[in-house]
Amino acid sequence: QPQLVESGGGSVQAGGSLRLSCTDSGLTFDDYAMAWFRQAPGKERDWVSCISRNADSTYYADSVKGRFTISRDNAKNTLYLQMNGLKPEDTAMYYCAASPGCRTASGDRNLDFAHWGPGTQVSVLS
């Protein structure tokens, strides 16, 4: 099963960029769709983006569309999240997660992810 570890978080000024990475050491990376979630202090965890197993489909929350780009390199067992135009409201702990698909059988957004990394903190300073 996936063993996920995020990296690349840090502090950045508003308008800046960060690239998050998530590496899977479980050698099952391309069996899973991969997603990014985030959770700010005192708030619920929010879905941010998802990418299909072969990267032919990507999905984004409205709050990050046009600013964030999800990608993956299956040869390197690595998921990425390029974050541009960062805003203070993007401040959160960011988690990568793995699941069989980005969509449920009925076509809804899949929020049921069984495998999670420990998270990486992103802080955007105003």
> What's the CA gap between 74 and 72, in Å, rounded?
6
* Residue 123 CA from chain centroid, whole number: 16
pLDDT in tens, the chain (126 residues): 789 999 999 999 999 999 999 999 886 899 999 999 999 999 999 999 999 999 999 999 999 999 999 999 999 999 999 999 999 999 999 999 999 999 988 889 988 898 999 999 999 999
Q: In the numeric block, which tokens belong to residue 96?
A: 């990568």
> What's the CA gap between 83 and 20, in Å, rounded?
8
The pLDDT value recorded for residue 26 is: 81
Q: How many CA atoms lie within 13 A of 121 on its CB side?
A: 5
The pLDDT value recorded for residue 18 is: 98
The pLDDT value recorded for residue 27 is: 66
> Which residues have CB under 8 Å from 111's CB, separation 6+?
47
> What's the CA gap between 53 and 100, in Å, rounded?
8
